[in-house]
Structure 1
């Protein structure tokens, strides 16, 4: 049940960010952006603000909501209203990676024929860029062609792996491997190395782009269902009275949920 006790200063984590100050850390799907843009045009509001992290020199990295942000830019929005992760609430942020559940196919053989990659068992000398789970007892690691590779090269290979299957197969994202039976599904799971917030900041500052749908950022105290008018985001400089009106509305209607909830996303 919702409770009326709202964490102090939670609404102060919301901020208007000019679109020219926004950076992305992952690639995006054009079809997904088109679907979101159509929904935004029909609804006239943005329900859930993207999640952003201040990185440097007035720049903000979109941690969650890259497709929403891109769709808003295509609609001509001058600003994005985002929930910002700052040094004060950084401890509330958790960065994880999705597991990709994909059908078995010739994409695996094509990867094995790539001169940029090596396949093998667990190695103490180097970290794999991905791992394939064929069953509980059968896994295979994917490595770069050298023991030491740069971050840029690692991300390039990460994209190579994901693009090998995402272009032709539907990718299901999994939070964990619990209770997964691969032998009966003719499927394989692709897992990726764990990352942290410093990794995300470096990716944003260096303008690198990870594959879509790999990182998963979870903020305790996420603000959702705000119904932000699209027309307000199209203004070059939102007026103080516009902001005061929104704050007043949200303060009266905001509810804090202590228990886990299920949210239907686009």
Structure 2
């Protein structure tokens, strides 16, 4: 279904190239939830791409994509967006809240990665883009007491993402995500720690550009789960598409015809303003 506002389409999973790892702690329960409910609520986000025999690049919804694979499904509902549109796609990053000892993490960084640790200050906690080549900051660490550490690395973008994967491997058994405002200060940091009382420190990641994300895929490297954040204006939510549509005995054409018929009976609203939605 394509309108002036959005494009929804069922595509073959084999035609989608992921840009990030999945989170098994989220994917397995999600697969069970979809199986029991009989439907998927929200489409994954993709953009058209022509690389490595793939047609689409996954931008968001890696755990939904993985859940569909776990269920043995070969197709999935997507919202196709124009990745080059500044109006449609905004890039940001997630913050990871970690319930492990910061001293152990710093020691892990010193011994297991080729990164440099520097002492920072609260003003260093901000949304920033990562430097594509040469020395640049990989992430910023902040503990509950306001101590700040800056983690730097040399190399090309693919090498830097490999090191970010190594950093995240220290706590990847449980990744808790949150968001900092674009211009953050000590108050914002304290508020997040109040929301995550068990967390001992946070990892603040930089924002990657569109070209950097595509370039990393060409290195055949995946981002860790929950690093990149794609904010889509006019994102389609709460579709509740029955998984019976994705049956193997139906062609893609037939599946999309059924989707079109289903959606044509559904009314939708467009929210132009930022919305606070209580789940």
TM-score by length of 2: 0.78
2:62 counterpart residue number: 66
**Cα drift, residue 245 of structure 1:** 4.4
Q: Distance in 1 between matches of 2:193 and 2:241?
A: 46
- Specify the SS of the correspondent of 1:158: helix
Aligned length: 252
Once superposed, what is the RMSD of the aligned Cα atoms? 2.9
1:111 counterpart residue number: 109
**Cα drift, residue 201 of structure 1:** 1.8
Structure 2, unaligned runs of 5 or more: 125-130
Moved over 4 A (4+): 87-90, 121-125, 182-186
**Which stretch shows the higher mean deviation, 68-77 or 129-138?**
129-138
Preserved CA contact (<8 Å) 2:245 2:259 = no
2:251 counterpart residue number: 237
Preserved CA contact (<8 Å) 1:26 1:209 = yes
Q: Counterparts of 1:197-208 in structure 2 under 5 Å?
A: 197-208=210-221
Change (3 A) 1:170 1:198: closer
Q: Pick from 126, 135, 160 the counterpart of residue 154 of structure 1.
A: 160
Q: Counterparts of 1:1-266 in structure 2 under 5 Å?
A: 8-11=3-6, 13-57=7-51, 58-86=54-82, 89=85, 91-103=87-99, 105=101, 106-114=104-112, 116-121=114-119, 126-134=135-143, 138-144=147-153, 147=154, 149-167=155-173, 171-176=176-181, 177=184, 179-181=188-190, 187-235=200-248, 237-240=251-254, 243-251=256-264, 252-259=266-273, 260-262=275-277, 264=279
TM-score by length of 1: 0.82
Structure with more contact order per residue of length (Cα contacts < 8 Å, sep ≥ 6)? 1
**Cα drift, residue 136 of structure 1:** 8.2
- Specify the SS of the correspondent of 2:36: helix
Preserved CA contact (<8 Å) 2:82 2:89 = no
Preserved CA contact (<8 Å) 1:55 1:205 = no
Structure 1, unaligned runs of 5 or more: 1-6
Q: Distance in 2 between matches of 1:134 and 1:30?
A: 26
**Which stretch shows the higher mean deviation, 89-98 or 114-123?**
114-123
